[in-house]
A and B are shown apart, each in its own frame.
Chain A
């Protein structure tokens, strides 16, 4: 995978109801890059992910989201996924009666077909092998492949499952929304290691949204952005994250 993909967000404004949440975001993510977006609660971090993925609840009032030079802000959520975008959820949703493996295989085939209608479809046996590898990567039992999506899973298992899904779908750009929230130290390490390995081997561009610096002890970001009140107020390299941890958000927000 030598081709370079890019997600370019320009002057993005968005609201929910009549509340403005994003007030002019500029951000560019390319293949192979790892961006961390940090910010206090209510700063618009999760909204940014949801808007990029096309959640119907939000309305874009200004600006653009381009994927490889194509404007995607009018596309349906699944069409964005078809192009190679992925969202790892802060709160993964339970889907009773739908086995993870089946669901992901159908999704993967739908994505392949959307890009090329003659694309080869991956069969159940072949995909099971893929899933076994991916669950192993996240130190999960293969029994999760046959279990209903997220149903009855612990918070940590859900988060790991999100990364299994990312690994199996091989997106071009992945958005991970507070993937570290609610994880204990061990689970955090496993999830972070998983992300790091995928990042190293797949060339996927990653936007990692986080409230805390601690996950960045395991994954080293190329870029760190601080978001506050719907704007990116500072960007830098990984040292910015450490600085933030030391000084707190307050000093940036008020400066």
Chain B
């Protein structure tokens, strides 16, 4: 479908501050035809040389996907055209462990994004996905020796099938929702992580996801298993070129946090504004385990994402902090889910959204306390900052409490960037733009300070870019 001139112009204007919209000319090894069919799924599985059970898993998921209706309770998905999407693009023959071996144009793409540099400076391991496949993967030798596994999910399926039989699709079954079913049918790439008992990884592991092609669907699948007493911090980032037609990113992330283990999963989502980002993320936390989702959504056209923690055993702790920035033509429908399935568990949800130029931010959250889950504590804080009259913020909190002895607190605020705040900062010498940017950064600060320094600086910079030219 041809894009009207006006829309094209509007897109260009709105994306003026997006610095990651460059395209790379890259010849793929294989590209599935547009649209989804059983043939496409069989071809993906065949090319990956998968075990028979995985193909069956995919085909079952495809059936579920076909039966499930589109979700109609959240963001507007009516423009999402599945028939116009390539569900699988293989950019090179297989994943490399040295950057030098990665095809030149792909390597250059990631160099522009600062990925190899980040790996050298402050990461314990790094993965990079281009289109449907992980093209590069590495892990510190020392961690390998300790038994840590950090591989692309495809490679891990071949090497460690036992983990997959036990955990894959168990936390988020294909039947969970339409997009979990879709991912289960066509998944490709993503990270598999196993941290052995008692191993604590100090530096973060990072995966970076890049969609390069037009009308592309990226469906990575991540599975993280933190064994007893271990800890890990996984960080993911993502960007894409700017096109006038839409692409789809739909991931499934499953995490198992065993007794006394801790997992932090940080996302800095900065997709270009033609991407539908529809992601299912869920963790099971066992006895005295701790799961922390730190979810930052700056980019995309539409995001629907509600990271969840199921507190399965006593003493488990779940925390979900999110920051969403919605500019023109963006809807961030983000939130959190906590299920207290055991007594003496606690949870915190902190959600902050910033909306400007007609952007829309929604918080959608669930706190559920199962019968028998006594003595639980939960705190939910939702703050929204609106930069102008055109922008919008909504809060949809759900509390489902089936036990008496609980302490659940919910606070919500909506504030507008006030004339008063701007006047105050400007009276000291700051321009209106600097003042607004400072107010936004101050608002986001409680989330930003949870990030490792390098990412905190990156996120601050992204917010400043978003605020450039926004006023006056």
**Is the CB–CB distance between A57 and B442 below 8 Å?**
no
Choose, from A64-72, A108-116, A125-133, A189-197, the stretch at the interface. Answer: A108-116
Residue of A nearest to B441 (CB): A97
Scoring A96, A97, A169 by chain B CB atoms within 10 A of each residue's CB, the highest score goes to: A97
List residues of A (157-204) whose CB comes within 8 Å of B's CBs: 165, 169
> Taking the nearest CB of chain A, how far is it from the CB of B122, in angstroms?
23
B39 lies within 8 A of chain A by Cβ? no
Q: How many A-B residue pairs have CB under 8 A?
A: 79
Query: B interface, by DSSP: helix, strand, loop or mixed?
Result: helix
List residues of B (257-312) whose CB comes within 8 Å of A's CBs: none
Known: A78-B431, A110-B434. A95 touches B426 (CB 8 A): no
**Is the CB–CB distance between A169 and B429 below 8 Å?**
yes
- B304-342 Cβ-contact flags toward A at 8 Å (1 or 0): 000000000000000000000000000000000000000
B171 lies within 8 A of chain A by Cβ? no
Choose, from A18-26, A36-44, A85-93, the stretch at the interface. Answer: A85-93
Known: A55-B423, A110-B434. A78 touches B445 (CB 8 A): no
What residues of B have a CB within 8 angstroms of the CB of A165 in the complex?
Answer: 428
Per a CB cutoff under 8 Å, which of A57, A97, A169 touches B419? Answer: A57
A107 lies within 8 A of chain B by Cβ? yes
Residue of B nearest to A106 (CB): B430
Per a CB cutoff under 8 Å, which of B423, B428, B445 touches A103? Answer: B428
> Taking the nearest CB of chain B, how far is it from the CB of A3, in angstroms?
19
> Taking the nearest CB of chain B, how far is it from the CB of A106, in angstroms?
7
Per a CB cutoff under 8 Å, which of B420, B427, B435, B442 touches A97? Answer: B442
- B421-454 Cβ-contact flags toward A at 8 Å (1 or 0): 1011111111110110011011111100000000
Known: A95-B424, A95-B439, A97-B442. A56 touches B419 (CB 8 A): yes
What residues of A have a CB within 8 angstroms of the CB of B435 in the complex?
Answer: 78
> Taking the nearest CB of chain B, how far is it from the CB of A164, in angstroms?
12
**Is the CB–CB distance between A98 and B441 below 8 Å?**
yes
The contact size tier of chain A is: 20 to 34
Cα–Cα, bound, A97→B421 (Å)? 13
Residue of A nearest to B431 (CB): A78
Known: A95-B438, A97-B446. A89 touches B424 (CB 8 A): yes
Cα–Cα, bound, A87→B426 (Å)? 10
> Taking the nearest CB of chain B, how far is it from the CB of A38, in angstroms?
23
Per a CB cutoff under 8 Å, which of A76, A96, A108, A148 touches B432? Answer: A76
What residues of A have a CB within 8 angstroms of the CB of B444 in the complex?
Answer: 97
A207 lies within 8 A of chain B by Cβ? no
Cα–Cα, bound, A78→B429 (Å)? 4
A81 lies within 8 A of chain B by Cβ? yes
Residue of B nearest to A50 (CB): B423
- A73-89 Cβ-contact flags toward B at 8 Å (1 or 0): 00011101110001101
Per a CB cutoff under 8 Å, which of B419, B430, B442, B443 touches A78? Answer: B430
- B453-472 Cβ-contact flags toward A at 8 Å (1 or 0): 00000000000000000000
Per a CB cutoff under 8 Å, which of A56, A57, A92, A96 touches B424? Answer: A92
Cα–Cα, bound, A148→B418 (Å)? 17
**Is the CB–CB distance between A93 and B429 below 8 Å?**
no
A53 lies within 8 A of chain B by Cβ? yes
Scoring B418, B419, B424, B443 by chain A CB atoms within 10 A of each residue's CB, the highest score goes to: B424
**Is the CB–CB distance between A148 and B430 below 8 Å?**
no
> Taking the nearest CB of chain A, how far is it from the CB of B461, in angstroms?
16
> Taking the nearest CB of chain A, how far is it from the CB of B100, in angstroms?
40
> Taking the nearest CB of chain A, how far is it from the CB of B412, in angstroms?
16
What residues of B have a CB within 8 angstroms of the CB of A56 in the complex?
Answer: 419, 423
Cα–Cα, bound, A37→B429 (Å)? 25
**Is the CB–CB distance between A106 and B423 below 8 Å?**
no
**Is the CB–CB distance between A98 and B427 below 8 Å?**
no
**Is the CB–CB distance between A77 and B443 below 8 Å?**
no
Cα–Cα, bound, A193→B439 (Å)? 32
Per a CB cutoff under 8 Å, which of A92, A98, A114 touches B429? Answer: A114
Residue of A nearest to B442 (CB): A97
Cα–Cα, bound, A63→B424 (Å)? 25
**Is the CB–CB distance between B443 and A97 below 8 Å?**
yes
Known: A93-B420, A93-B421, A106-B434. A77 touches B427 (CB 8 A): yes
26 contacts between A and B (CB under 8 A): A53-B427, A56-B419, A56-B423, A57-B419, A76-B432, A77-B426, A77-B427, A78-B429, A80-B427, A81-B426, A81-B427, A82-B429, A87-B427, A93-B423, A96-B442, A97-B441, A97-B442, A98-B438, A98-B439, A98-B445, A103-B438, A104-B428, A106-B430, A107-B429, A110-B431, A165-B428
Sorted nearest first, the 5 A-B pairs with minimum C-beta distance are A97-B442, A97-B445, A98-B442, A107-B428, A81-B429
